[in-house]
Amino acid sequence: MKKYLVIGNPIGHSLSPSIHNHWMKKYRLIDSIYEKRKVEKEDLGSIVNEIRNEKIKGVNVTVPFKKEIIPFLDCLDGAAECTHSVNTLCKVNNEVWGYNTDTPGFRTSLTKDSSIDVRNKNIFILGAGGVTSSILEIFLDVANKIYITNRTKEKAQELKKLADISLTLMGRKKIIEVINWGEKPQVCDIVINTTSVGLAKGESLDLDFKDYENNNNALFYDIIYNPKETNFLKDAKLRGNKTMNGKMMFLWQAKIAFHIWTNICPEIDDEVIKLLD
Ligand code: ATR
């Protein structure tokens, strides 16, 4: 039996097993099974060893362990290295590799599913939690200006520090500005909620987006996909802005992980999209 896992804490809400087991059935990987496991920080080393000993074939890592898993790994792929965030593990030759499929997943959701051209845009990122560096990464080489705000400002400043290193390596000027929570930057082209506000039904961000009234060019993107429409998106829709939730990002990151493990490129069709509804 080939065993796959998603690990995190809490993990009950994860829809990764439905998606991956659906694909495993569809592509007739009858000896494969994907499960979820709630783990503690102390378990991370032994999970990686289970991959090394081939007791587990592949693992997805979710909150709060995307950074904590890194010291146990032998190698990181490019996006994982740049963002210090890992969401997929796989044994390659004799090494356990960590990949970040959130970054390409987010990029693909924007380029393929939203038809937004991200080049030379002004971006406003809300939050500086575990997933934010994966989102920020895709704008570094293309954006005009990036504003980041987080309730705890120091975490946004840490993100900027990490991203500034990448910008320097790219030969780009420092395009990131950290602003206070509640402060308003210029009107931006894309506003992304990477905070956890909205995960619980009815929760709202205490931020003012009145300047976006009737702006049908601005895209409001919430990486949350459950609930389907957070108040952040509901309000944006009412103002006349474009909106997008995190469903496609979630599916693209899963597709890339599945490909890493099985060498099969699974289809994102209506059937699999429906599993998230
Ligand atoms: P972590 O911060 O441990 O990485 P996360 O779930 O990845 O956890 O991130 C949660 C994000 O949502 C953070 O940006 C958090 O802000 P803080 O860094 O200030 O905690 C943000 N967040 C959570 N609740 C919030 C609230 N009520 N208002 C604003 N931001 C909130």
Same domain, 168 and 71: no
Mean predicted confidence (pLDDT) in 111-130:
93
Same domain, 116 and 236: yes
Same domain, 204 and 160: yes
Same domain, 264 and 234: no
Q: Which residue is closest in CA terms to ligand 1's atom 16? A: 151
Average pLDDT value over all residues in the chain: 96
CATH of the domain at 270: 3.40.50.10860
Residue 264 has what pLDDT?
A: 98
CA 69 to chain CA centroid, Å, is 16
Measured N-to-C along each axis, helices 247-262 and 16-26 cross at an angle, to the nearest 10 degrees, of 50
Same domain, 71 and 21: yes
Same domain, 117 and 230: yes
Measure 131 CA to ligand 1 centroid, in angstroms. 10
Measure 128 CA to ligand 1 centroid, in angstroms. 7
Same domain, 197 and 122: yes
pLDDT tops 90 at residue 46: yes
* Ligand 1 in reach of 197 Cβ (< 6 A): yes
Instruction: With cut-offs at 50, 70 and 90, classify the pLDDT of residue 277.
Output: confident
Mean predicted confidence (pLDDT) in 142-167:
97
Strands of 75-76's sheet in order across: 32-38, 2-8, 58-61, 88-92, 95-99, 75-76
Same domain, 63 and 155: no
Q: What is the pTM of this model?
A: 0.95
Q: What is the pLDDT of residues 171-193, one digit of tens each?
A: 999 999 999 999 999 999 999 99
pLDDT tops 90 at residue 116: no
pLDDT tops 90 at residue 100: yes
Residue 185 has what pLDDT?
A: 98
- Work out whether the CA dihedral 40, 65, 54, 49 comes out positive or negative: negative
Same domain, 80 and 155: no
CATH of the domain at 167: 3.40.50.720
Count how many domains the chain has. Answer: 2
Same domain, 239 and 264: no
Range(s) of the domain holding residue 81:
2-99+249-274
Same domain, 158 and 239: yes
Q: 243 Cβ partners below 8 Å, 6+ apart?
A: 219, 220, 221, 222, 229, 233, 236, 237
Residue 115 has what pLDDT?
A: 79
Same domain, 109 and 198: yes
Residue positions counted in the chain:
277
Q: What is the pLDDT of residues 213-248, one digit of tens each?
A: 999 999 999 999 989 999 999 999 999 999 999 999
pLDDT tops 90 at residue 204: yes
Q: Is 161 a catalytic residue?
A: no
Catalytic choice (36, 57, 66, 247): 66
Residue 153 has what pLDDT?
A: 98
pLDDT tops 90 at residue 140: yes
Mean predicted confidence (pLDDT) in 36-49:
98
- Whether the Cβ atoms of residue 98 and residue 90 lie closer than 8 Å to each other: no
